[in-house]
Amino acid sequence: MNADPVSNDILLDVRNLSISVENRDEIPPLVRNVSFHLNRGEIVGIVGESGSGKTLTSLAVSRLLPQGLSMSADRIDFDGHDLVGGSDRELRTVLGTNLAMVFQDPMQSLNPARKIGAQMIETVREHRGLSKKEARALAIRSLEDVHITEPAKRLKQYPHELSGGMRQRTMIAMGLMGEPSLILADEPTTALDVTVQAQVMQLLCDLNDRKGSAVLLISHNISLLSEVCDRIIVMFRGEIVEDLTTAKLLAGPDHPYTQGLIRAVPDLNTDRGVDLVTIEDGQFDVEREMNHA
């Protein structure tokens, strides 16, 4: 059966995505029947604890699942391109130019043995067919866009010569060279101190405003997402339990798990003698949470 046509306002449409361990039928799917969409220019967060499936979902969308895992989906439509049935060549072209990936630790993505400039120039020449001179000029402009000082100097440096925040901004700049319609950021601030975290988040919001790039932001920090996102998708044990606007989240979510996540966030008024909400033995006590709601 053919899926319904995708609205022109929808940039990313994921329907019934499941992820499993290959050749291990006794292991339940790691992600089960996940469906969501992302509109053009929208900032959407996916929140959940470690193991909830949020990162695997983002890796499936970008077709970067690790070996040993397999995915199935009725549809993953990205800007009119079929990411499930498309050819490898089409996927490389589409994902290499229209999708920017920002990972938690930029040192895992940057080659420590190569200078920043070589890595940036090689990537854009491969996907956009630019000359070396054109690619270098674009690399400098992209570094300027993410507020890195002395960009020409940075091109001659190795990753270890940059601070953690500068490496993360460099990864964002590399993604911007393809003029992406979607920035997929997986825990982009976890390895950074609080001040740099705020700078990176502000940068993503600025890029959303200036360039119109949609942002899919993966995080365990529901407070952080509530500050920048238009909508928030809540995942628990491989499934989406709630998809709601930030206004609805702040006013009061419907699902008991989302309510529990909010109550688990400590603040200055939290009584030290009161236990925070926890999940014991991997099972969320829905009945108890409903009684608290």
Examine the pLDDT at 68 and tell me if it is beyond 90. yes
| Helix (DSSP H) and strand (DSSP E) numbers for the chain | 11, 11
> Of residues 237 and 293, which shows the higher confidence score?
237
Token pair in block for residue 230: 């238009």
In the three-class reduction of DSSP (H, G, I as helix; E, B as strand; rest coil), residue 101 is classed as strand
**Residue 204: its pLDDT value, please?**
87
Render pLDDT for 195-231 as a digit per residue (tens, 0 to 9).
Answer: 777 888 888 898 899 888 999 999 988 988 999 999 9
Please give the Cα distance from 273 to 271 (Å, whole number).
5
Of 38-52, 158-172, 179-193, 212-226, the poorest mean pLDDT is in: 179-193
Confidence check: pLDDT of 47 > 50 = yes
CB 249 within 8 A of CB 217: no
pTM exceeds 0.75, yes or no: yes
Measure the CA–CA gap between 121 and 125, rounded to whole angstroms: 6
State the average pLDDT over residues 47-67.
93
- What is the SS3 assignment for 2? coil
The answer to whether the CB of 139 falls within 8 A of the CB of 177 is: yes
pLDDT of the residue at 279? 60
Domain assignments of the chain as residue spans, ordered by start: 10-110+181-254, 263-293
The secondary structure of 16-51 as a DSSP string is: EEEEEETT-TTSPPSEEEEEEEEETT-EEEEE--TT
Per-residue confidence at 151, pLDDT binned at 50, 70, 90? Answer: very high
CA distances from 107 to 113, 170, 174, 190, 237 (A): 11, 11, 14, 13, 29
Task: Please say whether the beta carbons of 81 and 10 come within 8 A.
Answer: no
CATH of 10-110+181-254, one of 1.10.150.50, 2.40.50.100, 3.40.50.300, 3.40.50.20: 3.40.50.300
State residue 233's pLDDT score: 98
pLDDT tens for 229-258 read: 999 999 999 999 999 999 999 999 999 999
